[in-house]
């Protein structure tokens, strides 16, 4: 299975522009399936972006975020070739991470 | 509507079977396609011909900008990756999808649907894929989404840019299938009394609630699509079914004769436009 995370980090002057797409069902726990049974809540609780051991972006998410979330942000202080680590953990304890190189 | 039909050189089927159409109205797909394409080109002089395959994005500047941004991380990417994996994975008997298709199934999307002379019916890509599975002792997939959408997404992706090349052989049954598809496209049905053409020929570029209607020209070239509304992928079958239910008509079974013939007609009149699938739509 390929990674659930797609990242693109592009340096623009002194600012790195980061875009991320994460594959995740983000079930709210309020939706019923075809049989009428509730689909249990299953959502990302925390999403972290780390650059040089420093957390540059931290999101505490709940059920209000849509399926396959897309995140875009920018931060200063990065250089070309630096590594940016992305990781998420969901309410079932599942987790995934990926390290991208800033271009 | 009548004026439109005449402009498109169509026969007004007054509830009669096609068999009752006089010989003077012999189906002429070549002229149909020419008139159909000319109609859209004239209606949207600012839209480049190849751009019609981008549906609502060819009609609306704002949506286009959002879409171009989105294409950096296409929402269909996950399905595409899954499709690529599924396509190359052998069946239990060791064969693969590649064994069922010319050129190993790569870069052939633009030739479907095709008329099969031995069976005397239209074979769509979705049907061909399931037949391939069944011939190799596998269970068929649902026509509506998930696996089928992933597989067709991959096959469309390998055919991107290739121009639709749908053939109608010199066979009365093929001509009849085409004609039936055309009839289905222009026939009003359902509680709202809409035909496919009411939206996609008369009103492309117009808003229907928050959506922008896509032109019928090139509408299948972008299939399968990821629709934000579905938060997932959908096949051509799914698009037909939802179109029917949204106009409060009774949807047919996916891959029924009518749907396959409709796909045949719609694909034929979009001949010459490039494959842009898999696509993303709001």
Cβ pairs A/B, distance under 8 A: 17
Interface residue of B78, B86, B232 to substitute, partner A, most A CBs within 10 Å: B78
Hey, what are B36's tokens?
A: 């159909």
Task: Please check the confidence at residue B2 and state whether its pLDDT lies above 90.
Answer: no
Q: For residue A66, give how far its alpha carbon lies from the nearest alpha carbon of chain B (Å).
A: 9
Task: Please report which confidence band the pLDDT of residue A34 belongs to, taking 50, 70 and 90 as the band edges.
Answer: confident
Hey, what are B135's tokens?
A: 């011939």
Of B268, B274, B204, B275, the residue nearest B34 (C-alpha): B268
Kindly report, residue by residue over B212-227, the tens digit of the pLDDT.
999 999 999 999 999 9
Beta-carbon separation of A21 and B73 below 8 A: yes
Q: What average pLDDT does this structure show over B19-40?
A: 80
Task: Please check the confidence at residue B19 and state whether its pLDDT lies above 80.
Answer: no
Kindly report, residue by residue over B45-104, the tens digit of the pLDDT.
999 999 999 999 999 899 999 899 888 888 898 899 999 999 999 999 999 999 999 999
Of B143, B122, B142, the residue nearest B258 (C-alpha): B122
Q: Which residues of B48-71 are buried (b: 16+ CB within 10 A; e: fewer)?
A: eebbbbbbbbbbeeebeeebeebe
Task: Please check the confidence at residue B11 and state whether its pLDDT lies above 70.
Answer: no
Interface residue of A22, A23, A25, A27 to substitute, partner B, most B CBs within 10 Å: A23
Task: State pTM to two decimals.
Answer: 0.83
Of B143, B146, B137, the residue nearest B125 (C-alpha): B143
Beta-carbon separation of A68 and B78 below 8 A: yes
Beta-carbon separation of A68 and B72 below 8 A: no
Q: Is A7 helix (H, G, I), strand (E, B) or coil?
A: strand
Contact list in A for residue B75 (CB cut-off 8 A) is: 21, 68
Task: Please report which confidence band the pLDDT of residue B21 belongs to, taking 50, 70 and 90 as the band edges.
Answer: very low
B73 touches chain A (CB under 8 A): yes
A66 touches chain B (CB under 8 A): yes
pLDDT value for B260:
96
Q: How confident is the prediction for chain B on average, in pLDDT? A: 89
Kindly report, residue by residue over B116-163, the tens digit of the pLDDT.
999 999 999 999 999 999 999 999 999 987 899 999 999 999 999 999
Annotated catalytic residues of B are 243
């Amino acid at each position: 299975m390929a990674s659930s995370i797609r990242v693109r980090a592009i340096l623009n002057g002194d600012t790195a522009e980061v875009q991320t797409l994460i594959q995740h069902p983000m079930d709210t726990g309020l939706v019923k399936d075809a049989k009428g049974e509730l689909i249990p809540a299953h959502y990302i609780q925390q999403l972290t972006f780390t650059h040089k051991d420093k957390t540059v972006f931290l999101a505490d998410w709940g059920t209000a975020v849509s399926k396959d979330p897309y995140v875009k942000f920018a931060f200063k202080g990065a250089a070309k070739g630096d590594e940016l680590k992305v990781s998420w953990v969901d309410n079932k304890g599942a987790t995934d991470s990926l390290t991208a190189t800033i271009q | 509507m009548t004026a439109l039909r005449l402009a498109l050189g169509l026969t007004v089927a007054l509830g009669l079977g096609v068999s009752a159409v006089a010989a003077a109205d012999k189906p002429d797909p070549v002229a149909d396609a020419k008139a159909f394409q000319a109609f859209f080109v004239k209606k949207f002089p600012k839209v480049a011909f190849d751009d019609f395959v981008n549906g609502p994005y060819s009609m609306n500047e704002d949506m286009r900008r959002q879409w171009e941004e989105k294409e950096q991380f296409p929402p269909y990417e996950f399905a595409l990756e899954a499709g690529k994996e599924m396509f190359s994975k052998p069946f239990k008997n060791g064969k693969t999808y590649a064994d069922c298709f010319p050129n190993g199934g790569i870069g052939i999307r633009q030739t479907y649907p095709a008329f099969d002379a031995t069976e005397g019916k239209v074979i769509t890509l979705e049907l061909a894929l399931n037949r391939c599975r069944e011939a190799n002792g596998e269970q068929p997939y649902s026509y509506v989404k998930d696996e089928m959408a992933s597989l067709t997404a991959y096959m469309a992706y390998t055919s991107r840019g290739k121009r639709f090349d749908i053939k109608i052989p010199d066979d009365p049954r093929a001509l009849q299938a085409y004609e039936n598809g055309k009839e289905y496209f222009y026939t009003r049905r359902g509680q709202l009394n809409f035909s496919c053409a009411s939206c996609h020929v008369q009103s492309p570029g117009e808003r229907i609630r928050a959506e922008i209607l896509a032109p019928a020209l090139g509408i299948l070239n972008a299939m399968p699509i990821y629709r934000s509304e579905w938060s997932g992928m959908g096949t051509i079958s799914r698009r037909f079914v939802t179109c029917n239910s949204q106009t409060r008509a009774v949807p047919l079974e996916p891959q029924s004769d009518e749907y396959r013939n409709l796909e045949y007609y719609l694909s034929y009149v979009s001949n010459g436009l490039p494959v842009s699938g898999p696509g993303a739509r709001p």
